Amino acid sequence: MLTELQWSDFDRDGFVHLGKLLDADTIAELTQRADDLASGAQINPQVQLQLDTGGDYDALPEAVSSFQSGTRLYRKIQGLENDPLYSPLVRHPLFLNICARLYGAHAPVSLFRAMIMNKPAGQGTYLPWHQDAGDVWALDRDPLVTIWLALDPAMRANGCVEIIPGSHRLGLLSAHGSTLGAEDVQRHCPPERALPLEVEAGHAVLMHNWLIHRSGVNPSNQPRRAFTACYMDGRTRSVLTGHHFPLLAGTLSQTPDHYVQHLQTELAAVRHSQATAQEYAHALEQEVAKLHAALEHRPAEADWAAVRHSQATAQEYAHALEQEVAKLRLALETRPEQAEWAAVRHSQATAQEYAHALEQEVAKLRLALETRPEQAEWAAVRHSQATAQEYAHALEQEVAKLRLALEARADALDTADTRAG
């Protein structure tokens, strides 16, 4: 356990030396395990490895489950809480006791990460001034406890960590967290304030996550390996999923929070609506196929009623789909659980687009069916046309008769005028 003097130093400086925790045999066993995981001599599918490319931090590759070829030029091995040799170290009683002091004895304790940080001999990656917290970590609260334990001597000559003592009392210098901007480096990290954190192999340091720190490359002929673990209040959630992290101590209620239960209920309703929309879309696909067949085969009078019935059925389906789309749009205004929200929104949008395309197809087919009457209706159209032609002929004859009558009256008037003169 830490003394009150050590806690006072930690409150002032943001770090405190914890002394020697590992003997030489244990150190040799742990360093060999790390090298074997990187070389492929030991396989653990639950750990992730990152290659050290040397120099530029921004040029580092993503972590992978294994390297294509074994190497000791690794920078990071993470997920060590899942390794049988490192798991007991993660649960060291002193580390859990520190968490109880900083998070409260009532609080459960969870783990954000446990990993090996390595600066290979003659290489290493420059790590700029930064803080280990902020939005980039995607947590609903900042962790406060990091344990840094040297597996090799960490000295200036091989790229030990440098810190700005007391800088944790500044709080986070940006909401995003992580790497500091140039102005903050100039203001808070002058060379004269930087303190090399030299640590003997097997010794550990407690660091506040807001403490500003960095590390350089390793020009020496010896690697600089260290175990580091970040501990959290066990109630911490990922803001991406809403889930807690693996517990190391204490318990959490298994009953979801009220708002989570509400979101789960809404998500179930959205899924049901989505399934219903998919069923309607499938029914419309079948109806479109029927209508296409109707146009291609031109059914006779006996089948025309069935085609009309199918058309009406398609209209009913289209109307039902419109109602369902309205329900989905209303459902989209709600907020299902964050972990599955992106996939639900994408599938609903796709269903709406597909349904809209089907509605357009049904409309085209309806128009085609309305403009292509069958034999029974063609007969009626032709009969009406013939009747119109007969009526027009009758009118022409009547006009001719009236013209003759007018000409006869005109002749009679001319004769009467001649006699009067």
Q: What is the mean pLDDT of residues 6-17?
A: 98
What DSSP assignment string belongs to 287-301?
HHHHHHHHHHH---H
Residue 64 pLDDT greater than 90, yes or no = no
Nearest 5 degrees, angle CA 255-CA 235-CA 267?
45
Per-residue pLDDT, 391: 58
Per-residue pLDDT, 192: 97
- Which CATH fold topology does 4-254 show? Jelly Rolls (2.60.120)
For the domain bounded by 259-375, which CATH number is listed?
Answer: 1.20.58
Query: Rounded to whole angstroms, how far apart are CA atoms 63 and 43?
Result: 15
Query: Rounded to whole angstroms, how far apart are CA atoms 67 and 51?
Result: 8
Residue 339 pLDDT greater than 50, yes or no = no
Domain boundaries in the chain? Answer: 4-254, 259-375
Q: What is the mean pLDDT of residues 15-29?
A: 98
Per-residue pLDDT, 412: 54
Residue 99 pLDDT greater than 50, yes or no = yes
Per-residue pLDDT, 53: 87
Residue 36 pLDDT greater than 50, yes or no = yes
Confidence of residue 302 (pLDDT cuts 50, 70, 90): low
pLDDT digit string, tens, across residues 118-140: 999 999 999 999 999 999 999 99
pLDDT digit string, tens, across residues 195-205: 999 999 999 99
Least confident range from 182-191, 239-248, 324-333: namely 324-333
Q: How much is the mean pLDDT over the chain?
A: 84
Query: Rounded to whole angstroms, how far apart are CA atoms 277 and 294?
Result: 25
CATH fold match for the domains 4-254 and 259-375: no
Confidence of residue 79 (pLDDT cuts 50, 70, 90): very high
Q: Which residue has the higher pLDDT, 222 or 324?
A: 222
- What is this structure's pTM? 0.66
> What residue type is assigned to position 150 of the chain?
A
| 215-240 exposure pattern, b = at least 16 Cβ within 10 A, e = fewer | bbbbebeebbbbbbbbbbbbbbbbee
Confidence of residue 419 (pLDDT cuts 50, 70, 90): very low
Per-residue pLDDT, 69: 82
Query: Rounded to whole angstroms, how far apart are CA atoms 388 and 47?
Result: 88
Q: For 57, how many CA atoms within 13 A lie in the half-sphere containing its CB?
A: 11
